[in-house]
Structure 1
Amino acid sequence: MSDHAAKELLYDALAQAAKALSNGRRAELVDVLAQGERPVEELATEIGQTVANTSQHLQRLLRSGLVKTRREGTSVYYSLSGPVVHELWRAMRQSAEEHVAGLQQIVDDYVGDRSQLRTITRDTLQARLRDGNVVVLDVRPGPEYAAGHIRGAISIPVSDLTSRLGEIPEDAEVVAYCRGPYCVYADDAVRIMTGNGLEAARLEDGFPEWAAAHLPTEGRSP
């Protein structure tokens, strides 16, 4: 094999991960799996696809080495193959944010107006956790909280929040978080809480970014 042919094969192989993430549904699956392992049926519901279509996307990610599987009874659970996969996704996301024309308008159309939502940084939340004067609220689905969460956070999925507001102390400052910067669960949670007279803010991003910064977590690692 000539040096040029070998070089082409090398770069084609190196590009496999990027090719696997060239589909929006597969990128969305990586974003969900950054929260922790999930069975295919739950993943299909999360991304609004059939189980058959979701399985095909997962097989493409599996062949590219971006995800791994484990079997429990009749269920197959998928998870990211390692932290570097989420780092790759974050890098792709950041590149798009900086260079893709019109992306901010698409983001605004999806997440809505955040100008009235108070947002705090990871550093600020870490300091308030040390002081013990904040309630941290994980508003992701229960399985994601079980897979891993900010140390000391309580779990109230956003779908249950309205009926469980009584569990939050009225005089507490609450910081809600979810999956990441494009997840709207925390936005919805803050709107619900402030609309009911609670003092609430959203974390600037989500649990994967908190974990990647090696800040305190509990539960299984995502």
Structure 2
Amino acid sequence: MPFKVLRQDGKGVIYRLAGDDVAALGVALRQVAEAHLAELRQALEQMAVDPAKRSVIGREELLEQARRGEVIFIDVRPPAECEFAHLPFPRSLPLAEIEHRLSELLRDKDIVAYCRGPFRLLSDEAVALLQAIGYRVRKIRDGVSEWQAAGMPVIAAGIAA
């Protein structure tokens, strides 16, 4: 089974990936689909934020910038998803709460938004909203699975993965 039960949450069940190989498999399947399906590539290009608003810095450098406090990672997914697994040094700032929590963001810091991955638009919406009011913000295409599949550190349910 590629998933392990993490905990019951009411009638729902919270799962986690059984291992890094499962994350890598999911990412590999998406990459193969992107490479071979022109319609998928076109849809992604139309959905995605302006390429100039995406981070072009590599994962390792971005992580180091976050470690040094030079950038602020914002995870714009719902809180339960962020609790379950997230990139290192994030600030959980769900898209629905951003406008009410602007005081938590420093205008003199670069902000890097992320969400569930390349097919998701939460981070695109966050970038558009924050740029419209004067923040320096960009997004990364990666979600937690892409980050994990690349061998980068992920914090999962309170433990480093």
With structure 2 as the length reference, what TM-score do the two structures score? Answer: 0.82
Whole-angstrom distance in 1 between the partners of 2:95 and 2:128: 11
* CA displacement at 1:195 relative to structure 2: 0.7
Corresponding position: 1:118 with 2:118: no
SS at match of 1:161: helix
Change in Cα spacing, 1:81 to 1:214, as seen in structure 2 (3 Å) is: closer
Q: Deviations over 1:97-118 (max 9, x none)?
A: 1112322122234x24523423
* CA displacement at 1:88 relative to structure 2: 1.8
- Structure 2 matches for 1:27-38, cutoff 5 A? none
Change in Cα spacing, 1:212 to 1:136, as seen in structure 2 (3 Å) is: same
1:197 equivalent in structure 2 = 134
Q: Which runs of 5+ in 1 are unaligned?
A: 1-64
* CA displacement at 1:168 relative to structure 2: 0.4
* CA displacement at 1:171 relative to structure 2: 1.1
How many residues of Structure 1 are paired with residues of Structure 2 in the alignment?
157
Q: Deviations over 1:16-72 (max 9, x none)?
A: xxxxxxxxxxxxxxxxxxxxxxxxxxxxxxxxxxxxxxxxxxxxxxxxx34444663
> How big is the alpha-carbon RMSD for the aligned residues of Structure 1 and Structure 2?
2.4
2:123 equivalent in structure 1 = 186
Q: Determine if contact 2:71/2:109 at 8 Å carries over to the other structure.
A: yes
Change in Cα spacing, 1:160 to 1:70, as seen in structure 2 (3 Å) is: closer
2:85 equivalent in structure 1 = 148
* CA displacement at 1:135 relative to structure 2: 1.1
Q: Determine if contact 1:179/1:206 at 8 Å carries over to the other structure.
A: yes
Change in Cα spacing, 1:189 to 1:96, as seen in structure 2 (3 Å) is: same
2:146 equivalent in structure 1 = 209
Whole-angstrom distance in 2 between the partners of 1:204 and 1:73: 29
Greater relative contact order (CA < 8 Å, ≥ 6 in sequence): 2
Whole-angstrom distance in 1 between the partners of 2:146 and 2:92: 18
Larger radius of gyration: 1
Letter in structure 2 aligned against 1:77:
V
Corresponding position: 1:85 with 2:22: yes
Please identify which structure carries the higher helix content. 1
Whole-angstrom distance in 1 between the partners of 2:99 and 2:9: 35
Whole-angstrom distance in 1 between the partners of 2:134 and 2:120: 23
SS at match of 1:176: strand
- The counterpart of 1:129, out of the listed 54, 58, 66, is 66
Corresponding position: 1:106 with 2:43: yes
SS at match of 1:137: strand
With structure 1 as the length reference, what TM-score do the two structures score? Answer: 0.62
Change in Cα spacing, 1:129 to 1:74, as seen in structure 2 (3 Å) is: closer
* CA displacement at 1:198 relative to structure 2: 0.7
Corresponding position: 1:72 with 2:11: no
Identity of aligned residues (%): 32
SS at match of 2:140: strand
Q: Determine if contact 2:148/2:154 at 8 Å carries over to the other structure.
A: yes
SS at match of 1:175: strand
